[in-house]
Every structure is written in C-alpha cells, then in structure tokens.
Amino acid sequence: MEYTTIEQLNKFESKTVELKGWVYNKRGSKGLFFIVLRDGTGLVQCVVNNGEVNEASWEVASSATQESAIIVQGVVNKDERQVGGYELQVTSLELVSIAEEYAISPKSHGVEFLMNHRHLWLRSRRQWAIMRIRNRIIMSIHNFFQESGFIQADAPILTGNAVEGTSTLFEIDYFGDPAYLTQSGQLYGEAMAMAFGKIYTFGPTFRAEKSKTRRHLTEFWMIEPEMAFYDLAMNMDLVEDFLVYLVKDVLADCSVELDVLERDIEALKRVEKPFPRVHYSEAVDLLKSDKTWDMISEEIAALKAEVPVLEAELADNKKRYGQAKKWEKKKIDAREIEINQRQEEIKESLRNLPEWQESARNFEWGSDFGGSDETLLTRHYDRPIIVHRYPAKIKAFYMKRDPEDDRLALGMDVLAPEGYGEIVGGGERATDITFLEDQIAAHNLPIEVFKWYLDLRRFGSVPHSGFGLGLERMVTWICGLSHVRETIPFPRLLGRLHP
RNA sequence: UCCUCGGUAGCUCAAUGGUAGAGCAUGCGGCUGUUAACCGCAGGGUUGUAGGUUCGAGUCCUACCCGGGGAGCCA
C-alpha cells in the first residue's frame, strides 16, 4: 500500500492506495456513501460500500462531517464521469478529526461573508484553481527571466522617501524617523541594473490610496525588470515575449484549473506576438472616434433589448409557480435569483455606459486614460495592446523624453484585453543628470533623498529601461475573474485587514 | 472625499403599506451509483441602528453604521 496524493492517482490505476485529506462533500443512502475527498492537490470521489468495509470504517463514513480530516484506503478506478477522472473504492477509513458545523456550505455565498472566512474559503475549488494558476505564473516569471540572463535582486520594502512623489504611501515610525512602505522598487532596480546588467525585483508593494474598485489592492506583488542598454523599443519587445511566455505556460499546465474557472481558453490562445503598438495620440483619436461611440451605442441597445426578455421570463415563471412540482419550484427560485442579479448588472451598465461614452468623446489630449477609457480602447483589439509615448506631465519624473516630441515621455503601458486594463507600466528612463535635477525640482521633490539616485547618472550613465507587472492583475486577467481580491491568499483592501 | 446600489433565519434570497416565506445548512427518518444527490418531518426572526409619518411599516421619510460597485489615483 502506498501513500499518495490525488494528483498522482493516474499512476496507481487498479492499485490500492492511501490518501489523507478532508471531506469536501458527502452524499449517500442507507448502505452507500459518496465522499468527495480534498487533499490540496485535487478532488476524488471515494465510494464507501457498507458490505465492503468493516464496522469502524462504516461508522467514520456515516459520522464524518464536511471538512472532517480522514485517511482513506482503497482501490483506484478510472471513471471518466468523475472529477479528476478517477474514483476510489474504499477498503478502510480512519478519522483524524471531526469538523464542527462548517460555515461555507456547498451553496452560494456573498462577498462579505466569504471575505470574512477567507482562511476557510481558500479550501474551495475555485480558490484552489486560482492559487495554482498564481503559482504557475510566479514560477514562469522566474523561469523567463532566469533563462534570459536576468538575476533577481530585491529592492527594500522600507524606504525613506516616496519614489514618485505622487501616490499616497503607508507611513510608519522608523526608530523615530518617518519611513514608508515601498510603492515601487523602480529606483533601486535602476541601481542594481547598473551593477548587474539585467535584473528583476519581485516583492510586495503598498499603496495607501483609497481606491475601492475591482482592480485595486493596498498590498500587492509586483515584478519589475530593469535592463541596462535597453531602449523603449527593446523594452516593448521584452514585455511582449514575457507575457506570451506566461500565457503559454498556463495554457500548457493549468487546463484543469482553467476548466474549473470556466475560462474562455480561446481568448488566451490569441495572446500571440505581435501586440498592437498604439501611440498615445492614436489612442486618443480612437477613443474620440465614431467607431468607439457606435460600439458603446450598440452595447447599450443590446442591454436594453435584454430587459423585456428577462421580465417576460420572470412573469412566466410566476404564472407556472403555483402548479409547479417541488423540484420545479426550486429551479424557478434559483432562476429568479439569477435574473435579479443579471438585471442589477444591466442597470449598472446602463448607468455607466453613457458616462463612459461621453467621457471618451470629450477626452482631451494630455490627460491620462481612466479605467473606462482603457476598457474601451482594448475592446477594439483581440489581444493585449501596448500604448506608448504618453504626455510627460502625467508620467513620473524619471521618464526619458521623446526626442521627436518634447511633450511626450518614452513610457509604455500594456493594457490587457477583455476589459482588464493596465497590467504593466514602464518605459525608458532619463539619462541626463541636469534634466533629472530639473524634473525633481519641477515635481516639488526633495533633491537630497535622490542624491544616490543621481549618482547613477554621474558614474557611467547609459540608456536603460524597465517595467512593472502587477501580479494580481495578471492573475485576474488570466483566470478571467471579476475582482483582484481572489488572486492573493489574504487580500488587503480598503477596509479589509482581517483575516 | 464624492456618486451609486444594497442590509430580512447560520448562508443565498422572496414578500402591490395589511397574518414575515423558500432553498441550502443543522437534527431526526427513508433510499445501494450519487454528481451543489433526492424524498418526508422538525427547530430556527427585535427585518443594520435610532427617530418620524400612518389605524397599520421589512416596505414611505430623516440621520447614522456596515458592505458592494464606480470616480479620482494606480499595477
């Protein structure tokens, strides 16, 4: 008998194995129980037959509650109908510990409830799939850079100054002096690139802005490569290769996870080189175009047409309800909830879309794109796009100017498709010390704290570039989720510090 | 900070201003191939808080508290 994990069951067909895990779900009848076992690597249905196990094992099967810990021995059978494709015919069962009444039942729950039980919610199947994909992406990130001659070099988390002077940071007391939790490893990354050539940082990042949206966390993980002797074009080539590489790995290794999440694989398969490269001015024109206006009008019309259809179904269901059998009533009730939720979604979209439409049309050259603008831009394409050369005044002080148009900075953002928006921000850095000194003054930043940074331009200044990838936003997009909060084990959000 | 939507049983949700309900979960009973199993029975409520309007408030009004979504800002 061999102890193994659910993930490895395909190597033990028709053999007897031992599994250790938790009861994910249980159903059964007088002499037969179906226990869905969860061990962290997957799920498997264990069949306990009264006639085939001893009394002690049968007692464990009858008394085990949801999330009770058990050790199961049994024969592995291939069964295509089951989750994971295998089933265990149980020969013996041992109870490790009985679980109290479990809060998260197999039915649906609201966001607040689940967030309050995040420590338990992580055991659920969707969360399992998301965390495994997160893990796969992290591994691929390291592989990509390590294979390409980068070394990982970490930037400090505690800093004495705000990097860009724009964001609101978390302030702490550092032995009597004010200090901040880092909002970016950027400047340190540049120093390390001058030391090692090509580096990447991978660590937590903190933003104290009071953003309450599906794209924001107050604590998130960022990957920031920085490369000496790279210009903007090379930087864009790198980010393109990088993202294609990550998506390919997830598609190759996480088909089960993507399936659990019901992710549209085709959308991910379209993530191929080359990504459209859209000049800021071009993006502004597209945003203000009739094409964008009409696209939204069509969407509004489609949503408006959906309302009477839903209402008709609701009325029809109500009519049938009186005479419906019990199981039909349950179906009607469930459908009613679905319809109500859909109606709320439509209402919200109908509130938002006209505003988006107006704001896109009235967009002024020189402003930064808002969340809705990014969504609208990406809807014109089937894969990520790279928007480059933004107005300098909306970008950080260290951005190099476009030699062909001084109003522009050599920055670039990658916008993910399907409405996911900005996942990468980066660009080519300024090399001229006088320019940087002027910029620091123009941004009202204290020159003293940038003394060390300016040294980088004093001793062998070279063209260099880099970017930052928001891990959680990447995972949200790859998994096709509606909110970043599910992409990190214990999300920190505005108003959320526990558990 | 501002805009917007919401708060009813442990959970998810119903309830033209007129007797607060259902499903799940829990307990008991039935069923040897179930797939969020099913069937029967039972327990379970100060409708977020405080006021107000009314013969009568879950429903209308005011204030506050908590949560969702969005703006600003950003990965």
Place of tokens 């033990």: A12
Which pair of structure tokens corresponds to residue A257?
Answer: 């996870």
Q: How far is the CA of A206 from the C1' of B17 (A)?
A: 50
Please say whether the dihedral angle defined by the alpha carbons of residues A329, A331, A332 and A337, taken in this order, is positive or negative: positive
* 3-class secondary-structure state, position A333: helix
Find the residue closest to B68 using CA and C1' atoms: A111
Residue A347 counted as domain residue: yes
Residue A240 shares a structural domain with residue A333 = no
Instruction: Tell me the percentage of chain A whose pLDDT exceeds 90.
Output: 64
Which residue type is seen at A488?
Answer: I
CA of A32 to C1' of B20 (A): 40
Instruction: Round and report the angstrom distance from CA (A316) to C1' (B19).
Output: 27
Give me the helices (H) in A92-223, please: 111-116, 118-121, 125-147, 186-196
d(CA A28, CA A391): 65
Percent of chain A with pLDDT over 70: 98
Are A189 and A154 contained in the same domain? yes
Find the helix or strand (DSSP H, E) in which A95 lies: strand A86-97
**CA–CA separation, A413 and A421 (whole Å):** 9
Label each residue of A161-199 as H, E or C.
CCCCCCCCCCEEEECCEEEEECCCCHHHHHHHHHHHCEE
Same domain, residue pair A189 and A248: yes
Shared-domain flag, residues A267 and A394: yes
Per-chain mean pLDDT for chain A: 91
Write down the H helix ranges in A203-325. 232-253, 255-260, 265-269, 280-288, 290-321
pLDDT value, residue A384: 95
**Residue A178 belongs to domain spanning:** 125-276+381-487
Both tokens of residue A307?
A: 């309302």
ipTM of the complex: 0.89
State the CATH number of the domain containing residue A21: 2.40.50.140
Segment A211-225 shows an average pLDDT of 93
What average pLDDT does range A322-343 have in this prediction? 77
Tell me, yes or no, whether A71 lies in a domain.
Answer: yes
In a domain, A67, yes or no: yes
Q: Which residues is A35 bridged to in the sheet?
A: A26, A46
Query: Looking at the domain assignment, is residue A425 inside a domain?
Result: yes
Judge if A401 and A258 occupy the same domain.
yes
| A265 and A386 within one domain | yes
For A298-319, write each residue's pLDDT tens digit. 888 888 888 888 888 877 777 7
For the CA of A30 and the C1' of B8, the distance in angstroms is: 37
> A2: pLDDT confidence band, cut at 50, 70 and 90?
confident
- Chain B positions with any atom < 7 A from a protein CB: 1-2, 4-5, 10-14, 22-27, 30-40, 66-75
Q: Which nucleotide is nearest to A222 (CA to C1')?
A: B75
Is a pLDDT exceeding 60 seen at residue A404? yes
- Band of pLDDT at residue A110, cut at 50, 70 and 90: confident
Give the count of domains, chain A. 3
CATH number at residue A432: 3.30.930.10
Task: Name the nucleotide with the smallest C1'–CA separation from A470.
Answer: B75
d(CA A59, CA A430): 72
Q: Are residues A19 and A78 in the same domain?
A: yes
Does any domain span residue A371? no
A201 found inside a domain: yes
A206: nt with nearest C1' to CA: B75
My answer on whether A181 and A269 are in the same domain is yes
Structural contact between residues A23 and A94, judged by C-beta atoms closer than 8 angstroms? no
Tell me the average pLDDT across A90-97.
93
In a domain, A175, yes or no: yes
Q: Do A233 and A324 fall within a single domain?
A: no
Q: Which of A97, A117, A133 is the last residue of a domain?
A: A97
CA angle A171, A201, A278 (to 5 degrees): 100
From CA A99, how far away is CA A110, in angstroms rounded?
23
What is the structure's pLDDT at A96? 93
Predicted confidence (pLDDT) per residue in A457-487, tens digit: 999 999 999 999 999 999 999 999 989 999 9
Backbone φ and ψ of A204, nearest 5°? -75, 150
CA of A496 to C1' of B64 (A): 21
The answer to whether A468 touches A193, Cβ cutoff 8 Å, is no
Residue-wise pLDDT tens digits, A264-278: 999 999 999 999 999
- Considering the domain boundaries, does residue A327 fall inside one? yes
What nucleotide is nearest A105 when CA is compared to C1'?
A: B25
Is A165 found in the same domain as A18?
no
pLDDT digit string (tens) for A166-178? 668 888 889 998 8
Q: Write the pLDDT tens digit of every residue in A422-454.
A: 999 999 999 999 999 999 988 888 888 899 999
pLDDT of res. A166: 61
Shared domain check, A407 and A446: yes
CA of A355 to C1' of B49 (A): 35
Residues A272 and A295 grouped into a single domain? no
Cα angle at A425 between A142 and A430, to 5 degrees?
Answer: 105
pLDDT, residue A248, reads: 97
Quote the CA–CA distance of A263 and A305 in Å, as a whole number: 26
